[in-house]
Amino acid sequence: MAPSSGATSPATASQLPAQPLPFKGRLADGDPSELPPSVALSLSSNSIVVFSYREELTHDEYHIPLWVSWIDPVTYFGSPLGDYGVTAFASLSVTDGDRVLGDYTAKVHVSKSYNLYHEPTHQELEEAARAAVRAKIDQKLHNDADRLAQEIAAANISGTIGR
């Protein structure tokens, strides 16, 4: 399975241990079981910071025409007959009231060829694409976590002073 290229490969990012963010947030949109690991570890129902997470999947397929496969002898030795692919797109917004603190997006394409003897399942490809796109969002969020924590702390201090 070959994820699309990027600055940080999803495989590398997903090998990092999941770490909570330096702040807590509540989930406004999204399923808690389908979040990037750092967001899932940083949930709190009474936080002023809000997470909104969304994923979209699209499927694509390529098939060598049957008449070509039928007459080509390498077909019977396991030559690819086509491939299945899944593209996962994810977006995460971090907000504090009406103020957007961070907005992160990632896109990953995973594909796998099939032959006469083996065919990947769509579920297998979906799971790989979801894991890779969540790892990319996680990496972007961790790269920006210190800035977010400083902005949240500054907003909490100014909010307390203004009361």
Q: Which of 16-30, 36-50, 86-100, 122-136 has the lowest mean pLDDT?
A: 16-30
Q: How confident is the model at residue 9 (pLDDT cuts 50, 70, 90)?
A: very low
> Which tokens belong to 152?
């949240």
At residue 123, φ and ψ (nearest 5 deg) are -60, -45
Question: What is d(CA 136, CA 8) in angstroms, rounded to the nearest whole number?
Answer: 7
Question: What is d(CA 35, CA 107) in angstroms, rounded to the nearest whole number?
Answer: 15
Which range, 14-28, 56-70, 82-96, has the best average confidence (pLDDT)?
A: 82-96
CA dihedral 77, 79, 84, 89 (to 10 degrees): 130
Which range, 1-10, 11-20, 46-55, has the best average confidence (pLDDT)?
A: 46-55
Is the pLDDT at 44 greater than 70? The verdict is yes
Mean pLDDT score across all residues of the chain? 85
Q: How confident is the model at residue 73 (pLDDT cuts 50, 70, 90)?
A: confident
DSSP E strands, the chain: 26-29, 49-63, 82-96, 99-114
Question: What is d(CA 111, CA 128) in angstroms, rounded to the nearest whole number?
Answer: 9
| Domain boundary assignment for the chain | 20-161
Which CATH number describes the domain made up of 20-161?
3.30.160.150
Question: What is d(CA 19, CA 142) in angstroms, rounded to the nearest whole number?
Answer: 9
Residues 6+ apart with CB under 8 A from 63: 81, 82
pLDDT at 15 (0 to 100): 57
Question: What is d(CA 69, CA 85) in angstroms, rounded to the nearest whole number?
Answer: 20
The proportion of the chain whose per-residue pLDDT surpasses 90, expressed as a percent, equals: 63
Residue tagged 């979040």 (tokens): 35
Q: Which tens digit of pLDDT belongs to each residue from 118-155?
A: 999 999 999 999 999 999 999 999 999 999 999 888 87
Q: How confident is the model at residue 18 (pLDDT cuts 50, 70, 90)?
A: confident
Question: What is d(CA 62, CA 85) in angstroms, rounded to the nearest whole number?
Answer: 9
pLDDT at 160 (0 to 100): 40
